[in-house]
Structure 1
């Protein structure tokens, strides 16, 4: 590993960088494709950056549908022609008593992780407002199907579907532009959701904020390109483009925002 690679990313991202380097080495040594687990957008950005330095290798992302937020990546030699089946993703519908309960992304994810599997084996959880579907890595999908019988106190059942049965997600994401004085986590939350900096800091320190699905209690955490921030009770945001600075030194951002 060229130590200079690390300087372009956060220190806490070094273990993932090392993992990507291992995947790249495996493809080069075996001259055969390597399939990753599900990656968040930030991880996908890091992987793409590193693989592009390898002129002999190619890559492709797929998360089960075109606009997937979390996706698996296939890294492969020039000769290989990947197919959709190579990504080994199963789609499941969540059957539950709709008359008696309301499900949410958080409830479903919590119950899935509660079966003992790691988040990296789970793709997107999508809904049309009433029906829910989840994408799961094929290697553990049968296990999850057997283990998941309840979400909270509600009995549920996972039914495997074909890709032609993917529902159209009800997506409230909007594209927004703003300027911020810094990319500190509390500052961006405060600006986007129009709350005080102190309130944003409090939300972070009390465990109500996640960055790329990982809890953080650091208000001074510096965000970067393609980071996704989830704020309990407020919604989510993603930094999609960092456009530069204004004459007054503020940072221009293009954002995806999902407000509750």
Structure 2
């Protein structure tokens, strides 16, 4: 059996705030090995998954699968199981709903739909990604709460809604667009790289960072001077994400030459 405390100490050193999440996941892993049946975590963001899968990979008699509803989903559940368990017989732990209503006279956003869902007593950790359009929202949730959501969600932004379960094939996910940006920066500070990637001034980006609107590797970072490096991911809700794809040395003015990837 794996050393639970050793792994928790590792998480504590990396990120004390994530220790409770890690403890729950390790308990799920222990249960899967004891019962010889799959167990499922709540939805985890990319930062949490990266932190936790580095531990799960060290548990030699355990394997895991990720479920998010679609390939590029930000929030995913982890299915944990003994290494001999057949992946093909693991039940999908997700349910997908389409929430629709007469929103012609009401401007609704991601926040409105999420707020309505949480407002009926559902916790954020059992809700995955939301795909919002002008007249509806498609939401991915843990299968355990699907009946509760279906029978209790009645209104969004004071508009009566209908809620129907749909298949993953009906998800209206926009294809991800990637733009390569060649840029030079004075340093690899977060505000400098982010301002280049998101085409805004460094001063404005610094304010965004200090306000807690910017994530570095999926975790809020409020220090504009934080250093970033290759493959680090900078994201701002509603504006996509940016990562450093290549470093190309120095320019004649001794600035750092970069190739950035912006995903929208």
Which bracket does the TM-score occupy, shorter chain normalised?
A: 0.7 to 0.9
* 1:230 equivalenced with 2:232 (yes/no): no
> Counterpart in 1 of 2:188?
182
Q: Unaligned regions of 5+ residues in structure 1, if any? A: none
Aligned residue among 229, 236, 249 for 1:247: 249
Instruction: Give the 3 Å change call, closer, same or farther, for CA 175–123 of structure 1 in structure 2.
Output: farther
**Quick one: distance in 2 between partners of 1:31 and 1:134?**
31
Aligned residue among 9, 30, 40 for 1:35: 40
| C-alpha RMSD over aligned residues | 3.5
Instruction: Give the 3 Å change call, closer, same or farther, for CA 247–206 of structure 1 in structure 2.
Output: closer
Q: Cα distance, 1:83 vs. partner?
A: 4.5
Q: Cα distance, 1:146 vs. partner?
A: 3.0
**Quick one: distance in 1 between partners of 2:118 and 2:257?**
37
Aligned residue among 161, 169, 173 for 2:173: 169
**Number of aligned residues:** 252
Q: With structure 1 as the length reference, what TM-score do the two structures score?
A: 0.76
Q: Cα distance, 1:98 vs. partner?
A: 4.4
**Quick one: distance in 1 between partners of 2:217 and 2:118?**
16
Q: Is the 8 A contact 1:127 1:170 kept in 2?
A: no
**Quick one: distance in 2 between partners of 1:176 and 1:103?**
32
Q: Unaligned regions of 5+ residues in structure 2, if any? A: none
Q: Cα distance, 1:11 vs. partner?
A: 4.5
- Report the 3-state secondary structure (helix = DSSP H, G, I; strand = E; otherwise coil) of the residue aligned with 2:91: helix
**Quick one: distance in 2 between partners of 1:206 and 1:175?**
26
Rg larger for: 2
> Counterpart in 1 of 2:202?
197
> Counterpart in 2 of 1:257?
263
Q: With structure 2 as the length reference, what TM-score do the two structures score?
A: 0.75
